[in-house]
Structure 1
Amino acid sequence: MIKSLVVSCVALAALVVHDTIAVHPIAQRAPRTESEIADRQRFLRYRQRLLAACSNSDAGRELREQSNHLIAAKLEELRASRRRLDAVTVLTTTHKTNLTDVSVNTYPEYLFGDDDSVKCVLAPETTQTSFYVKGELYRQDITEDQAGVSLSTELQFIDVNTCTPVSDLWIDLWHANAAGVYSTDSYGLAGFTSIFPGHYEGRAPHIDIVATYGGTYQNNNTYAGGSTIHAGELFFDQDLITETENISAYASNDQNLTLNKFDEARGGDSFRV
């Protein structure tokens, strides 16, 4: 049985979108010009090469090491917060992974990556993000009182043009039943605690993300202003979705589950967590 998930989509973002992104569900986007289409195709061809070049640099390796230890520290905080579970539950719970010999003493580099391979790159939007609401609260924990599998997500944003982390970037993150906002730190990291997303008709379980640069924190615990530089979605492996859907909090959903491959909005450029 799945009790909790730690998702480290070290979402190394290539933030090179040149046009304004409409994130309102009814907004209409103007057709792309030939120049914009050419820019997009060029980016899709070279995105992984750009990020790999950053990963191979001295600065990239140093940032990766620092980020791994920061994420490992947050993982230890999560472990500590969940140690109130009874011993029987802990000992009988299996956490699936393709890694071997994993324990609490495993080096962060082994868990989160110490090679130069590209983890994932945020491509220009494949669909206009739906249900975006301005003025959401500045918060990391968006669980509220919702039942479901606990989900901790760590996102990291890297500008492939400079190979440096993108700090002070406002990240709106939401999915079925929860929404919140948080800012990236000096390492380009932003973390959220929520539950594994549910589903609704026509859409596979996914997480919506909007990245805004230049916003200003407000006294009412929200942010205002800034320019939206990316709007996209994160998807999950189908086998993980299938297993999660067997848990009571999700099994009670009487809407038809849409598989990833049949998702009406997912484009070929989307990346799974």
Structure 2
Amino acid sequence: MRFNHLLPGLALLSAVTQAHPGHDISELVAERAAHFATNAPRDISHCAAKLKARGHQQRTIDRRSALLKREREKRGIMASEGHLKARALDAPLEIRDAASALNTTHLSPTTYTPDTDVNTLFASNSSCVLVPEVTEGPYYVSGELIRSDVRDNQTGLDLILDIQVIDTATCEPVSGVYIDFWHCNSTGVYSGVVASGNGNIGDTTNLNETHHRGLQETSSDGVAQFTTTYPGHYTGRTNHIHVATHTNGTVLANNTYSSGTVSHVGQLFMDQNLTSQVEATGVYATNTQTLTTNAEDSIFSQEAASGDPVVEYSLLSDDINDGVFAWIAFGIDASASKSITAAAVYGENGGTATGNSGGGGAPPGDAPSGTPPSK
């Protein structure tokens, strides 16, 4: 496998390492390159026919269309022509490099109206693929709350995300695994870790914050759904969401999860065009950290080398401020066992830093303080 497509974004490594104490992206890039050199990641495009034959595809279509309808009704948004878009049916299904992913719109020019068959909108699982990565990044927190709404009254645009997990070996949805879900807020701050910025370097109060973190158990169709706010950016990284899958863990009395086996760690991305629209709105526009695009992000390049890590999406209305509905399916090796290093542990008495430099470190020096903005 050639790795020249992994080079975009490497010029940022020195600056990113300085901005993230304990977070050496150059080491991460090298680890991922070695992983891809010795492992042949398998996507789920070969599963499309089997999923359709067993009825999984139709249930996926029905579930996503019902969820979208429900979320729009919650907000008093009436269905009308032009509100929803679908990816063109002739869009490429197997993306194998960053350039292809960057040049593929995940919001198709195909117009969806109330009379359009929902198959047109939601039958694109084979185009949404994630491959495993070998590190979780610097801000993983163990012991997260089991919940679907992870907003915690944070300011930002609503993002509703439908995630489906498929076993790459059997092409069957993987039920009963816990999807761990975390990302920064609209101004680039991760909860649950020691915060820095605005003169608050070493601020431990952020350890007790839980925004934009949570777990959900997958259903019989391998599905978990989250309501969050659209992630912001921070120096050296484009807007992204972390996901991991856990099995054989323990649900504790305080509704948190004690991890067992980790079978997958990965990241989700959004179209740059969508992110650019979001970044021009409200609190996102107040973020003064350096904006890194998908094209400049080395992790995006590596994930796109073996599949499409970008979510399919539809705006909830003609006004982006009403929010975004997105969906993705990804394949995992259900038999895999990976290590995951936590920067902190969240328990019944709040958060505690672990001191692990590999998984920890403070957020970027230019980031705002850990105090979450309120609605």
TM-score range, shorter chain: 0.7 to 0.9
Percent of residue pairs bearing the same amino acid type: 35
Say yes or no: does 1:158 pair with 2:166: yes
Aligned partners of 1:25 and 1:128 also within 8 Å: no
Q: Output the CA distance in 2 between the equivalents of 1:103 and 1:217.
A: 43
- Contiguous gaps of at least 5 residues in structure 1: 1-23
From 81, 88, 100, the counterpart of 2:110: 100
Q: 1:131 aligns with which of 126, 139, 142?
A: 139
Q: How many angstroms does 1:110 deviate by?
A: 1.2
Corresponding position: 1:227 with 2:274: no
Q: Which amino acid aligns with 1:53?
A: H
CA distance in 1, matches of 2:152, 2:82: 25
2:45 corresponding residue in structure 1: 52
What is aligned with 1:144?
Answer: 152
1:136-159: CA deviations, max 9, x gaps? 111100112111111000110110
Deviation of residue 101 (structure 1)? 3.8
Structural mapping, 1:164-183, within 5 Å: 164-177=172-185, 178-183=212-217
1:75-90 mapped onto 2 (5 Å cutoff)? 75-83=68-76
CA deviation after TM superposition for structure 1 residue 216, in Å: 2.1
Structure-1 separation of matches of 2:60 and 2:83: 27
Aligned to 2:286: 252
Count of equivalent residues: 234
Distance verdict in 2 for CA 1:60–1:129, change over 3 Å: farther
Match in the other structure for 1:204: 238
CA distance in 1, matches of 2:274, 2:66: 25
Partner of 1:189: 223
Q: What's the Cα RMSD here?
A: 2.9
TM-score with structure 2 setting the length: 0.56
Cα drift, residue 25 of structure 1: 5.9
Question: For residues 36 and 72 of structure 2, what CA distance do their matches in structure 1 show?
Answer: 46
Measured in 2, the distance between the counterparts of 1:109 and 1:93 equals 17
| Residue 120 (structure 2) aligns with | 110
Which of 63, 73, 76 is 1:70 aligned to? 63
Map of 1:19 onto structure 2: none
TM-score by length of 1: 0.76
CA distance in 2, matches of 1:37, 1:259: 23
Aligned CA distance change for structure 1 residues 59 and 68 (closer, same or farther; 3 Å):
closer
Measure the CA separation in 1 of the matches of 2:23 and 2:53. Answer: 37
Q: Whole-Å Cα distance in 2 between the matches of residues 209 and 169 of structure 1?
A: 12
Which of 235, 248, 254 is the matching residue for 1:214? Answer: 248
Shift of 1:60: 4.9
Q: Specify every segment of 5 or more residues in structure 2 that has no aligned partner in the other structure, as ranges.
A: 1-21, 86-106, 186-211, 312-375
Contact kept, 8 Å, 1:126 with 1:266, in 2: the verdict is no
CA deviations over 1:149-181 (Å, ceiling 9, x no partner): 110001101102111110111111111122111
Map residues 257-272 of structure 1 onto 2, 5 A cutoff.
257-270=291-304, 271-272=309-310
Offset, 1:53: 2.9
**SS, match of residue 204 in structure 1:** coil
CA gap of 1:183–1:59, structure 2 versus 1, over 3 A, is same
Amino acid across the alignment from 2:231:
P
Q: CA deviation at 1:264?
A: 4.6
Is the Cα contact below 8 Å between 1:171 and 1:212 reproduced in 2? yes
Any conservation in 2 of the 1:127–1:267 contact (CA below 8 Å)?
no
